[in-house]
Structure 1
Amino acid sequence: MNNPPIEISYDDREHADILLELLSFNTDIYLVKKRLKLGDYQINNWLIERKTLPDLATSLCSGRLFSQISRLSESSYNTALLIEGSSHDIATYDITREALIGAICSISLNFNMPILRSLSQAESAKILYFCATQLNSRETGTISSGRKPKRQKNRQLFILQSLPQVGPKLAKRLLTHFDSIEAVFTASVKELTKVEGIGQEKARRIREILTLK
């Protein structure tokens, strides 16, 4: 008996016609268009956020990148970031290679999020296909629910401790005060100083590292 096709859901706001067309050519893949609250693609218990290099650079400069990554990291699903494009795509952008490398390292290490790289939509289609077939082949009853182990708070505290001069105690105060990592990452200098142990200078340094300004 033939195995049923592997379902890949994609967000209805995703603009990747070539990628989706190439994926549809695989007879063992079943594409489902839907509105995803997070991520651009869902495969089993994984959410994959696809960003072109221009998207990545723009969201990094605006300060939106880490808020979005934080929301993904705090979700109950496993998450990965697919970065698409080459350095030529951002040749005219006012951003350094070091800033991009720093952001990628932070996402990979501090948020424990795998980074997938491709040069084009065609290559992204191949990566998503490989992800789907490999995830489907290893899926067992122990992970089929799509839920992460209940260690979210420890992971949140670990992420907050990556901020300048933020130790375990201050990380707990930040999480208690703001309730979520996203709220911390989007807080203004004035809002940050309301937390015991954070003065103007420390708040300014936190905002600088999050916005690279």
Structure 2
Amino acid sequence: MITILADDRESDARVSDELRKFSGVTVLRQRLPIGDYIAERHLIIERKTQSDLSVSIIDGRLFHQAGRLSASKLKTAFIIETGSKNFVSPEAVQGALISIGIVFGIPVFYSEGPAETAYIIYHAALQCERHTAEHYRRPGYRPRGITARKLFVLQGIPGIGPKRAKILLGHFGTIKNIITAPPAELLLVSGINKKTAQQMISLLHE
């Protein structure tokens, strides 16, 4: 199940309608503090047509939005839908998009319309979901909650990913019990083979 939040001020519902065509996608309309869409609560997306982009360049709103997005703790992206009228020069548009990408560090994607925009959002949400489910980003990552911290520590052991960490913690209850467990008991845990057990023992006891 993938959940995508859509800002209720987004008057064009075509993107939301296209998103609902993907299997397992739930689109919830609500007031978002920033951005037009939030995918899996990990990625904020600002969607603009070329006309919207031109107007936001003229009134300076584009860089204000980019500043707020770059200050967010979530990943961010712009999606620019081509096909509508530009009110500023191509040079001004390119300059603005270069600033967004280089200065603010926000990736920019181009789309030919609502259907392709929905496709980009959907696949971005899929990647966010898979990344969260399968991997913790260890450098700089600060898990919340005691269980999350325990799992984070266990995943630092070679051969122990998120799934095995959960199984180990469920079996032994505490990290201390895992560390002091004899090799024969480690082998009783589902998914822990002799090689993995030896790696754990080498790291934890040498």
TM band (smaller chain): 0.5 to 0.7
**Structure 2 unaligned spans of 5+:** 143-206
Residue 134 of structure 1: which of 111, 127, 141 is its match?
Answer: 127
Corresponding position: 1:56 with 2:39: no
For normalisation by structure 2, the TM-score amounts to: 0.62
Corresponding position: 1:16 with 2:38: no
Task: Give 1:16 deviation, angstroms.
Answer: 2.5
Task: Give 1:27 deviation, angstroms.
Answer: 2.2
**Structure 1 unaligned spans of 5+:** 149-213
Q: Which has the higher contact order (CA 8 A, sep 6+)?
A: 1
CA radius of gyration, larger in: 2
Counting aligned pairs with the same residue, the percent is: 36
Look up the match of 2:81: 84
Q: Distance in 2 between matches of 1:75 and 1:133?
A: 20
Q: Distance in 2 between matches of 1:126 and 1:79?
A: 16
Look up the match of 2:98: 105
SS of the equivalent of 1:42 reads: strand
Corresponding position: 1:35 with 2:31: yes
* Structure 1 runs, 4 residues or longer, greater than 4 Å off: none
Corresponding position: 1:69 with 2:66: yes
Q: Distance in 2 between matches of 1:103 and 1:41?
A: 21
For normalisation by structure 1, the TM-score amounts to: 0.60
The answer to whether the 8 Å contact 2:43/2:125 transfers is: no
Q: Distance in 2 between matches of 1:117 and 1:97?
A: 15
Cα deviation, 1:68-116, whole Å, max 9, x if unaligned, reads 1111111222111111123xx225x2x1101100100110011010111
Q: How many residues align?
A: 137
Task: Give 1:22 deviation, angstroms.
Answer: 1.4
CA root-mean-square deviation: 1.8
Q: Distance in 2 between matches of 1:32 and 1:139?
A: 21
